[in-house]
Structure 1
Amino acid sequence: MSLGRIGRLFMPHRWQLAIVTAIIVASSMVAMATPFLLRAVIDKALPERNLTLLVWLVLGMVAVAAVTSALGVIQTWISTTVGQQVMHRLRSDVFTHLHRQSIAFFTRTRSGEVQSRITNDIGGMESVVTSTATSIASNLTTTIATAVAMAALSWQLSLVSLVVFPPSIYLTRKVARMRRAITAQRQRELADLNVTIEEGLSISGVQLSKTMGTGASMIDRFTASSARLIDLELRADLAGRWRMASMNIIFAAIPAIIYLSAGLPMTADTLSIGTLVAFTALQSGLFRPLMGLLGVGVTLTSSLALFARIFEYLDLPIEVADPARPVEIDPSRIQGELRFEDVTFSYPGSDTAAVASVSLDVPAGTTLALVGETGSGKSTTAALITRLYDPAAGRVTIDGIDIRDLRLTDLAAIVGVVSQETYLLHTTVRENLRYAKPDATDAEIEDATRAAQVHDLISGLPDGYDTVVGSRGHRFSGGEQQRIAIARTLLRNPRVLVLDEATSALDTETERAVQQAFDTLARGRTTVTIAHRLSTVRDADQIAVIDHGRVIESGTHASLIEDNGRYAALAA
């Protein structure tokens, strides 16, 4: 992975970074005045008892500290702002890109894995993104300025100090490679831990473990993953510590070597006490920026594992995307004529077609019922209407327009879905309904719930429409969740309705009431109904029998019974 791609994240903020760099350079230059002021204090002001000079030199030291501190605050403010903006953009880009992925991506990817990329991986990059650029500029500038000041004081002693550079660079590179490998392992383990939390502490997961008696094994799985994280965290923190400890020893020995060098006959008469003290102070000050610079290199190299995981998601192709040149439509003017033209579709990795050469013509305002045994391809056929998947061959059209030529938002405004698996957000009933139509009035909400036969139930709750439904809607029974989901879809007033086992969770009496509401609402709409219970589709304008992804029979209830084929066998 190229460092240039990471650098491009900062390109929109290059002027702010240029200002920060200028501030850093100015701060480093000002700070370099301190050792020269110190030399003047020791070599001139104190020996000559020049109080005026001493006061001015001391005030100069204080002024240097004040200026560098003020510049440091400004630098931190700008660099942190830039870093946070980059983090915000990265989080938003990853979330947006993943949200555009097809259903196929989410069926093959663990939900905890996705969450870990956005939270753990991007969160782990925060310190790198917010401080790396400024840390490199600050430490590099300070190191160069310090080296120049040291050479100005004594080039001979500077040569002695430079012996530390080769081993420092060598050891740093080895440590960086070690930490990068460990970081990749740690992030994978964090993703596994997230998956365990998602599977073990979701409402469905808790119910499963309690009813199956697998709570202990789930706890053991979490504990083992957490223990492996402890080991990886220790290895990450301790990687190369003994190597860096040897560097500390080398740096500590340098001042002693400098004092020894100052006492040698060849240098004894060339260095003043002030120069020696100032040089030693500079040399000691060189340790912090140099180690900081090398440390940034270690951190940046190890963080490449995090960037690789994020860029891996950002590079995922969009399997179901908006068209490059969408057909401009007004969803309210769509009639709802639905056609399948020799449509074939296979799930990724499968050699068997889930939908095979299906051709159906559903005139606007009529009802199509898809029936067949479990796994015959009914729901997959319906999923193609909403572009949850795209067909491998053939096309699905609405009013003669290939739905792949429509914006996804336009298609969602045209086609409404109520499936057998309802999903309610962990918020109030009112907000769950407004999720379908944010600007819906209370009157519109109540009309939709009355049509779905659920208004009286909601009104009878202590908080009415402000009742929180709970995680995944578990505040309500399955039939109640289904009716709320029906009301949510009907609130959007789509021209095409897809009812995938929409009444499967309802008792017979409630099903009858909801079916009556559907019969009323279906007038003037195109409705595709999927059902196991044939009693719910007897009055459909057209019934298609699906078997192994193929339409083997189609017609009305009466005609299919008369043909005495598969439908007649199912109805028997």
Structure 2
Amino acid sequence: MALPQGPLEHRYQGEHPVRTLAYLFREDRLRLLVAVLAFIVKHSPAWLLPLVTANIIDIVVERRPISELVGNAIVLVVVLMLNYPTHILYVRCMHGSVRRVGTALRSALCRRMQELSIGYHSRVSASALQTKVIRDVENIETSAQQSADTGLAAVITLAGGLGVIALRVPAALPAFVLVVPAAALLVRRLRGRMRSHNEAFRRQVEQLSSRVGEMTSLIPVTRAHGLERTALLRVDGSLRQVLMAGIRLDLLNGHFGALAWILLQVIGLAFLTAAALVSYYAWLPVTPGDVVMLSTFFTTLTGSMTMLMGLAPIFNKGLESVRSAGEVLQAPDLEVNAGKAEVTAVKGRLDFEGVYFRYDGEGPAAVADFDLAVPPGETVALVGASGAGKSTILNLLIGFIRPVSGRILLDGTDMATLDLRSYRRFLSVVPQESVLFEGTIQENVGYGMGDVDSQAVRNALRDANALEFVDRLPNGLDTIVGERGARLSGGQRQRIAIARALIRDPRILVLDEATSALDTRSEALVQEALGRLMRGRTVFVVAHRLSTVRGADRIVVMDQGRICEIGSHAELLRRNGAYARLQATQMS
């Protein structure tokens, strides 16, 4: 099903979320109208039943023809029978619309996340974005459904009931207009008191949850020092507090619940008595059936008014989630590729000309006056202390960030004029911590490659020194690697990542601490695989361990964002400068 592109086009910032909701549902306006009409029919017994009951009572009391009794019964049965098809139609139209909007909104959020810059993703945690996609959209769906179900039921019951009263006993209408809202408000106030106590209890339960989580995380320390009893006493104290608070809450809820019920029943009894007296003394033309109808409507309309008042927090929760989703959908920090030249071929030459970059416009420059010409096929290693600017250079090279000043040329063309998505098809990155998804080895190696055949995957795995362990796995290429590759060792995950890079045959290769987290044997296997991967390509290597960059054509030594030395391993050692000092420090 093709999803609408609309959610990305709306102006969320500064727009009231109700208008945003109306915008999101604009494609489903006809379905929503059908849903409302279906709901009116399906919910009509709520106000029709008291009227028919009144008619039947009057027929019996006044000894009117039995045909009238049968006619009223048939009308009610027909209306009741219509409930099923109209309810299904309502659910299909209303709930279906809500689900479609939720799906389109999630799709729009995911699309926008792919368009947002890496700088944005470095500032906003992945868990916060995941919450917006899952929880916030779920809140919007739930709020929309509950508001529609409860709100329509309450409004239709009120409108239908007041309409029947206005036609049948117009003199009673002012009493309903005054008494029903007042009674609903009193009940709402009492329930509001209960809610505040419920929230206080919920916070205490959350504190208990935190204490239990603390206990479980400290179990190794607790066991190691024989502190099991101390840990249990801490949790037992919280359990006793929650127990006493729960009992107090139950008693308070009991008090308030009983008071609210008594209050509503007393008001209802007073209303019934008043209606009966009016009918008994014939002060107004009110029949015995009207007395029953008015009493029933009082309870029904008061409940509807209370439901409407209770919708506010549910609706507000949904609106807040609309604002939360809008923070991502309207985020301005986008990687703009529209209208730029598409990269169709890459030779591999890269030129950094006076590149300067500063994060967030504050603090010292991360990279300053960076000049470097890299011909096709050369391997360049970036070394230096933490914070020297090595990772910033890689991010500039990949296009995650743009230079504040200066420029980077790809085969002589300024990268600022290129569609970076097409450029990255010729680039592969092997990071320090390889990222695998929960799928098969074949799916991970061929990720994004379409229908790649098994032999090509096996060739890439062989060149990555990974085929020897893959063939030993029970299902070979079809082995599920687990979430983030949890079923594989660090060295195995890294060799899968190298195979993923190999199968793409990149012209530019970025190795970011690709062996730093591995043991000696795994590092040797990975280094051998990297040697095959680097052959004939332009390669940028970042490494803390200088032993891994000795074979680079040139080593660029960086300090505080600037180049302080360039040369081969042997040349830099002979100069006895910054690189030689780093070497001596690591060997000591």
The answer for the alignment partner of 1:272 in structure 2 is 287
Note the C-alpha offset of 1:520.
Answer: 4.2
- Equivalent in 37, 42, 53 of residue 22 of structure 1: 37
Q: Distance in 2 between matches of 1:133 and 1:80?
A: 9
Contact 1:322-1:406 within 8 A present in 2 as well: no
SS at match of 2:359: coil
Q: Does 1:135 align with 2:150?
A: yes
Candidates 90, 100, 112, aligned match of 2:105: 90
**Distance in 2 between the 1:174 and 1:336 partners?**
73
Distance change in 2, residues 1:448/1:290 (3 Å)? same
Residue 285 of structure 1 corresponds to 300
Q: Say if 1:566 and 1:31 are closer, same or farther in 2 by CA, change over 3 A.
A: closer
For the 8 Å contact 1:168–1:247, the answer to whether it is kept is no
Match of 1:300 among 296, 315, 326: 315
What is residue 443 of structure 1 aligned with on the other side? Answer: 455
AA matched with 1:551: I
Residue of 243, 262, 273 corresponding to 1:259:
273
* Contact residue 44 and residue 79 of structure 2 kept, 8 A: no
> 1:147: Cα distance to partner?
0.3
What is the CA deviation profile of residues 450-477 of structure 1, one whole-angstrom value per residue up to 9, with x for unaligned ones?
1111211211233322333344334333
Q: Which runs of 5+ in 2 are unaligned?
A: 1-15
Match of 2:324 among 309, 329, 335: 309
SS at match of 2:63: coil
In the alignment, the residues of structure 2 paired with residue 309 and residue 528 of structure 1 have an alpha-carbon distance, to the nearest angstrom, of: 39
* Aligned equivalent of 1:249, options 259, 263, 282: 263
Residue type at the aligned position of 2:423: L
- Matched AA of 1:329: V
1:445, distance to aligned residue in structure 2 (A): 0.9
> Counterparts of 2:224 and 2:421 in 1: how far apart (Å)?
42
RMSD: 4.4
What residue is the counterpart of 1:401 in the other structure?
A: 413
Structure 1 position 337, deviation (Å): 1.5
8 A contact 2:180–2:298 mirrored in 1: no
Matches within 5 A, 1:33-182: 33-44=48-59, 47-48=62-63, 50-167=65-182
- How far did 1:279 drift? 2.9
Matched residue, 2:4: none
What percent identity do the matched residue pairs reach?
30
Q: What displacement does 1:544 show? A: 1.5
The residue type paired with residue 281 of structure 1 is: T
- 3-state secondary structure, aligned to 1:279: helix
Structure 1: which 5+ residue stretches go unaligned? none
Relative to structure 1, is the Cα distance of residues 118 and 490 closer, same or farther in structure 2, using a 3 angstrom cutoff?
same
Does the 8 Å CA contact 2:184/2:305 hold for their aligned counterparts?
Answer: no
Q: How does 1:259-408 map to 2 (within 5 A)?
A: 259-264=273-278, 267-268=282-283, 270-318=285-333, 320-330=334-344, 333-348=345-360, 351-408=363-420
Shift of 1:512: 5.3
| Deviation of 1:418 (Å) | 0.7
Q: What is the CA–CA distance in structure 1 between the aligned matches of 2:506 and 2:215, rounded to whole Å?
A: 37
Instruction: Report the equivalent of 2:516.
Output: 504
Deviation at 1:495? Answer: 1.3
Aligned AA for 1:454? Answer: A
Q: Is the 8 A contact 2:558 2:564 kept in 1?
A: yes
Q: CA deviation at 1:98?
A: 3.5
Flag the 1:54–1:520 CA change in 2: closer, same or farther, 3 A: closer
The letter for the 1-side match of 2:470 is I
DSSP 3-state at the match of 2:82: helix
* Aligned residues of 1:25 and 1:141 also touching (Cα < 8 A): yes
Q: CA deviation at 1:498?
A: 0.6
**Does the C-alpha gap of structure 1 residues 515 and 274 become closer, same or farther in structure 2, counting only changes over 3 Å?**
closer
Alpha-carbon offset, residue 253 of structure 1: 1.6
Residue of structure 2 equivalent to 1:465 = 477
Q: Deviations over 1:302-355 (max 9, x none)?
A: 44444443333444333x41323221232xx22122122222223348512222
Q: Does 1:421 align with 2:433?
A: yes
Q: Aligned pair 1:542/2:554, yes or no?
A: yes
Query: Is 1:6–2:21 an aligned residue pair?
Result: yes
Q: Give the match for residue 486 of structure 1.
A: 498
The SS at the match of 2:381 is strand
Q: 1:136 to 1:474 in 2, by over 3 A?
A: closer
> For residue 99 of structure 2, what is the amino acid of its counterpart?
Q
Residues 1:358 and 1:186: Cα distance change in structure 2 (over 3 Å): farther
**1:404 shift after superposition:** 4.2
Task: Give me the whole-angstrom Cα distance separating, in 2, the residues matched to 1:385 and 1:315.
Answer: 27
Is the alpha carbon distance of 1:322 and 1:173 closer, same or farther for their aligned partners in structure 2, counting shifts above 3 Å?
farther
Q: What secondary structure does 2:354 align onto?
A: strand
**What's the secondary structure of 1:424's corresponding residue?**
coil
In 2, are the aligned partners of 1:177 and 1:301 still within 8 Å (CA)? no
Question: Distance in 2 between the 1:371 and 1:329 partners?
Answer: 30
CA–CA distance in 1 between the matches of 2:367 and 2:290? 86
String of CA shifts for 1:210-239, please: whole Å, max 9, x gaps: 999999999999x989x99x999x99xx99
> What residue identity is the alignment partner of 1:375?
G
Aligned residues of 1:86 and 1:129 also touching (Cα < 8 A): no
Structure 1 position 497, deviation (Å): 0.2
Alpha-carbon separation, structure 2, partners of 1:211 and 1:97 = 47
CA contact (8 A) 2:491 2:526 kept: no
Structure 2 Cα separation of the partners of residues 166 and 49 of structure 1: 37
- The answer to which of 557-566 and 474-483 deviates more is 557-566
SS in 2 for 1:417: strand
Letter of the 1:328 partner, please give it.
Answer: E
Q: Distance in 2 between matches of 1:390 and 1:169?
A: 60
> What is the distance in 1 between the residues matched to 2:192 and 2:492?
57
Distance 1:106 1:169, change over 3 A: farther
Three-state SS of the structure 2 residue aligned to 1:544 is strand
Runs of 4+, deviation exceeding 6 Å? 173-180, 205-221
1:480 partner amino acid: Q
Counterpart amino acid of residue 353 in structure 2: E
Query: What is the identity, as a one-letter code, of the residue corresponding to 1:552?
Result: C
Once the two structures are overlaid, the 10-residue window that deviates more, 521-530 or 466-475, is 466-475
Aligned mates of 1:294, 1:512 — CA distance in 2 = 69
Alpha-carbon distance change, 293 to 269 in structure 1, aligned in 2, over 3 angstroms: closer
SS in 2 for 1:97: helix
- TM-score w.r.t. the length of structure 2 is 0.80
Matched-pair contact (CA < 8 Å) for 1:326–1:406: yes
Specify the SS of the correspondent of 1:79. helix
Are positions 1:476 and 2:491 aligned together?
Answer: no
Shift of 1:555: 3.3
Instruction: Work out the CA distance in 2 between the residues paired with 1:272 and 1:250.
Output: 24
Distance 1:314 1:177, change over 3 A: farther
How far the C-alpha of 1:28 sits from its partner, in A, is 5.3
1:571 deviates by 4.6
